[in-house]
């Protein structure tokens, strides 16, 4: 397993070891001890699976009182996956990273609590599975505008398919009084 840090502290790309031959392949999509040793300390309590069609954009979502760390992967198809630091006072507040996850590249993106998450589908369809560190709490969720100019995400689609919730999402600046605060770890 290879773990690569991104420019956002705590957000990492995981490339599991894939063992393949003419019959197919095998990989561990999660192994608690190995992931913890690689710096992903969270315990996961909920697994989710979503299916989306081309140009669908989901996000940017986060929970406030029950923040979720997420370990995200595309099982089939391809997507552009994004994490945004929404911790007020963080040196990387409002910054984003995005990577392509696909059923062919086997990559995963780990997004710690305190970050918003979203993705858009770049293939005809995508199946996404992700593990969460806390349970989904619908009344606790916020949606940040996918096209917030201050964040400036370079999405690979100009006119995405959006849910009504995501169409009505607020810019990050309008949510400042509700967002989590950055807590620096002692040196």
What does the alpha-carbon distance between residue 179 and residue 187 come to, in Å, rounded to a whole number?
A: 25
State the average pLDDT for the chain.
Answer: 96
What does the alpha-carbon distance between residue 125 and residue 78 come to, in Å, rounded to a whole number?
A: 7
Query: Per-residue DSSP letters for 40-80?
Result: --PPP-EEEEEEEETTBEEEEEEESSS---EEEEEEEEEEE
The pLDDT score that the predictor gives to residue 157 is 95
The residues that bridge with 49 in the sheet, in sequence order, are 129
The answer to whether the beta carbons of residues 19 and 106 sit under 8 Å apart is no
Measured from the Cβ of residue 146, the count of other Cβ atoms closer than 10 Å reads 22
What does the alpha-carbon distance between residue 45 and residue 74 come to, in Å, rounded to a whole number?
A: 19
Tokens 């607020």 appear where?
170
The residue from 30, 55, 61, 66 that is catalytic is 61
Q: Note if 31 is an active site residue.
A: no
The model's pLDDT over 117-165, given as tens digits with 9 standing for 90+, comes to 999 999 999 999 999 999 999 899 999 999 999 999 999 999 999 999 9
φ, ψ for residue 93, nearest 5 deg: -55, 130
Residue 1 CA to its chain's centroid (Å): 19
The residue from 35, 110, 117, 130 that is catalytic is 130
The pLDDT score that the predictor gives to residue 183 is 86
The answer to whether the beta carbons of residues 131 and 46 sit under 8 Å apart is yes
What does the alpha-carbon distance between residue 39 and residue 16 come to, in Å, rounded to a whole number?
A: 14
In order of their start, the domains of the chain are 2-17+42-175 (2.60.120.10)
The pLDDT score that the predictor gives to residue 184 is 78
| Half-sphere exposure (Cβ direction) of 120: Cα atoms closer than 13 Å | 17
φ, ψ for residue 32, nearest 5 deg: -50, -50
User: What's the pTM value of the predicted model, to 2 decimals?
Assistant: 0.95
Q: Note if 130 is an active site residue.
A: yes
What residues in the chain have per-residue pLDDT under 50?
none
């Amino acid at each position: 397993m290879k773990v690569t840090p991104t420019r956002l502290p705590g957000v990492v790309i995981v490339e599991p070891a894939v063992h393949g031959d003419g019959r197919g392949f095998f990989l561990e999509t999660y192994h608690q001890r190995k992931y913890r040793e690689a710096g992903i300390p969270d315990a996961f309590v909920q697994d989710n699976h979503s299916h989306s069609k081309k140009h669908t954009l989901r996000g940017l979502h986060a929970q406030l009182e029950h923040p979720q760390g997420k370990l995200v992967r595309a099982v089939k198809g391809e997507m552009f996956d994004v994490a945004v630091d929404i911790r007020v006072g963080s040196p990387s507040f409002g910054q984003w990273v995005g990577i392509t996850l696909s059923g062919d590249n086997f990559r995963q993106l780990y997004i710690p609590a305190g970050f918003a998450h979203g993705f858009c589908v770049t293939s005809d369809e995508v199946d996404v599975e992700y593990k969460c560190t806390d349970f989904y709490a619908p009344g606790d969720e916020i949606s940040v505008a996918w096209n917030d100019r201050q964040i400036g995400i370079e999405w690979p689609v100009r006119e995405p398919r959006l849910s009504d919730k995501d169409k009505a999402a607020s810019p990050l600046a309008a949510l400042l009084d509700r967002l989590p605060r950055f807590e620096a770890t002692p040196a």
